[in-house]
Structure 1
Amino acid sequence: MTEEILSISSNQDNTCFALGTSDGFSVYGIEHMRLKERFKRTFSGGLKIVELLYKTNLLLLVGGGSNPAFPPTKLIIWDDYQNKAISELDHDSEIISAKFRKDIIIVVLANKVLVYDFKNLNHKEVFKTCPNPKGIIAVSYLETKIVAFPSVEEGKVVIADLEKETSTTIEVHKHEISLMALSLDGTLLATTSSEGTLIRVWRIETGDKVKEFRRGKSVATIYSLSFSCDSKFIVINSNRGTIHIFALTNDSEAQNRMSWVSNIIPGFGGVYSCCSSPVTPEIYTHVFFSQDDIKDKYNIIGITLEGVVMRFHLEKKGGKTDIVSEECTSVF
């Protein structure tokens, strides 16, 4: 049987990504747009969830595929340095998604979100949600301890501040929520609905909508949604085979950065059209801004379920900024 990729994830600060496969996982580091395999592990079955904790050897694993390495109801905390599971968390239903920070682990089931203390694995919180078959969840990774997830009511999001032990609910779309992302500092939340036409950005502190972008008029399935590390841009892609980048600031510097886009959608001031990407339509691609230590340099990584890694960067030429496609690399 040919090995296949079951999942793609980037770590908390977008410096690494992990592939869950039908017989294990692989972890790659990204530095100045260069890829390096950090470590990989082979199992006797598949992994549908592989989440890496920053650049450590700690991972969250959940079995999946036609021959799961572990029961899909069991969360494995894996230490690759020791080459073994150091803890396990059993659940009464299938785990849909999981995330973790240095202090907490978040597990998403079909209709609830569980929060565990990472030190002792005790339950901290349990939140009910509407049916959530995609395991939609967004987590902040810096000082604030914010978790956002679908409410029990369709189109609404619960924003929970685990530090302050408070939560608020806001209506973000009329249709079912399809994807969410928090900025790295946890101050902004981006959401999309099952229509896939609008991307809305919300301020966590007030619950106010600060931006609304239009991807297009046709319905689309949004594959990925991510903020740049400085929260100035959002990148999304969909089954339409196109990458979109939107500017969150209105200053002239940001506008100049995005002048490579071909046109402005009438009636939506400051909202830019997309650039074409080499992503084949209908093939899932995970796209995100890669962190770079050079100020105002924006690198973009795209990884397909076929194991192709595409690299882009924004480049300024003659007062305009273009998106430049770099070499594609196969890692699978």
Structure 2
Amino acid sequence: MTTISSSPDLLTTPQMAHPQPLHAASEPEPDDSSSLSTQNTSPCPNPNPTQIPTLLHLSFNQDHGCFSVATDVGFRVYNCDPVREIFRREFGPGGGLGMVQMLFRCNVLALVGGGPDPLYSPNKVMIWEDNESRCICELSFRSEVKGVRLRRDRIVVVLVQKVFVYNFTDLKLLHQIETIANPKGLCEVSNLSGHPVLVCPGLQKGQVRIENYGSKRTKFVIAHDSRLACLALTQDGRLLATASSKGTLIRIFNTLDGSLLQEVRRGADRAEIYSLAFSSTAQWLAVSSDKGTVHVFSLKVDSGSLANNRSCSASEISPPNPSGISSLSFMKGVLPRYFSSEWSVAKYHLQEGLQYTVAFGHQKNTVVILGMDGSFYRCQFDPVNGGEMTQLEYYNFLKPEETF
């Protein structure tokens, strides 16, 4: 295994293993110090694989076709449609993982230790090669890793006040960004090939930093008055959604020029936003919060139109969609902003207080919802009439007796 610190001057230039498609295998900072290690540190298998683990983290892959879960004994990877477990790696006591990030559907994953008995130090990002069932390299830092994002050509590591961008093939440090305190590890990168777009907190409360690496331009946007709570990007990186700690308003920005395109309202009461997700066409935005409700909003502009109308204002790009706008919007200049806000088209009610992560399904007009209790929901919304979503499927993916 190759061990690399976050130092700009790497001791070695390791070559990453070429990613292969996922398979169900047979059961059996810059001033940090640098070091090189070649020993095999493969964890031992879990002696009790039937025990239901404690879920510590979950996330979708880049195309929302799979999701991975980190537990107190290892990790698992699932397919979304149809729902099925692809493979698991469980290491038993001392095998805790606080984070697992997939690279699309290939055999390379990023692991970070976590829980009361972590498998790896929480200040390291371990690159796991599942064909070999071992970590092939690591990135070490002086403080705890708060987030990891993967592209085919980049690894992005988020610390509490820094973001590091590495080249995936040789782990060369390409960019270092200073941020305001970022305990949630907020950061997103575009997923399509080509020049990446990265968004993360800026140096001020409520500020978003937008890095357009293709044009080599940096934009700073004051998105909210209060601190940021959640970020999301379209796959091409042209649209950005933001939510603050108040959790009442979600704002949509054009990442090319930083302009505000749309503002939607989740509700009137303060809420903690857990996740934001664009549909693949950027026609819809889904939002989950601690209120136990998932909202779907209709968007006025898709990211494809931005490519052809870079200088257009939001009103020039497309007219508002009336299905999500308050009937009092004609009095926008008279009544408080609350009454002219754009409301969700559809919603679904879940257990309040439980953390849920949401994404759009590959089936038309569907939303996939993952709960930290192991719940999997697939719901369908009516794009015309809206209202309460219809539940199509439910599973608890952590329970061995559940059949997918």
Task: Give TM-score, length-normalised by structure 1.
Answer: 0.90
Where 2:373 maps in the other structure, the secondary structure is: coil
1:115 partner amino acid: V
Cα contact 2:202–2:209 (8 A) shared by 1 = yes
Q: Does 1:324 align with 2:390?
A: yes
Aligned to 1:150: 201
- The answer on whether the counterparts of 2:265 and 2:342 sit within 8 Å (CA) in structure 1 is no
Match of 1:267?
A: 339
SS class of match (2:393): coil
Whole-angstrom CA distance in 2 between matches of 1:108 and 1:273? 34
How far is 1:276 from its partner?
3.5
Q: CA deviation at 1:2?
A: 6.0
Aligned residue for 1:267, secondary structure, equals: helix
| Corresponding residue number in structure 2 for 1:111 | 161
2:176 to 126, 144, 161: 126
How far is 1:320 from its partner? 3.4
Residue 141 of structure 1, aligned match among 191, 195, 207: 191
Structure 1 residue 275: Cα displacement: 2.4
User: Is 1:37 aligned to residue 106 of structure 2?
Assistant: no
Counterpart contact for 1:104–1:115, Cα < 8 Å: yes
Q: Partner letter of residue 85 of structure 2?
A: E
Match runs of 1:60-209 below 5 Å: 60-142=110-192, 143-209=194-260
Q: Distance in 2 between matches of 1:216 and 1:253?
A: 20
CA RMSD of aligned residues (A): 2.4
- Measure the CA separation in 2 of the matches of 1:90 and 1:266: 46
Q: Match of 2:148, SS?
A: strand
Report the equivalent of 1:314: 381
Higher normalized strand content (fraction of residues): 1
Q: Which has the larger radius of gyration?
A: 2
Separation (CA, whole Å) in 1 of partners of 2:111 and 2:216: 28
User: Which of residues 74, 77, 96 is equivalent to 1:27?
Assistant: 77
Q: Report the TM-score when normalising by structure 2.
A: 0.75
Partner in structure 2 of residue 49 of structure 1: 99
Aligned to 1:287: 358
Runs of 4+ with >4 A deviation: 250-256, 263-266
**Which stretch shifts more, 43-52 or 266-275?**
266-275
% identity of equivalent residues:
32
User: What CA deviation, in whole Å up to 9, does each residue of 1:228-277 have, x standing for no partner?
Assistant: 11001100011101111110028799666x79x9x999622543365232
Contact 1:215–1:274, Cα closer than 8 Å, also in 2: no
Gaps of 5+ in 2: 1-50, 302-317, 330-336, 399-404
Aligned residues: 321
2-structure distance, mates of 1:144, 1:248:
25
- For 2:284 and 2:103, the matched residues in 1 are separated by 24
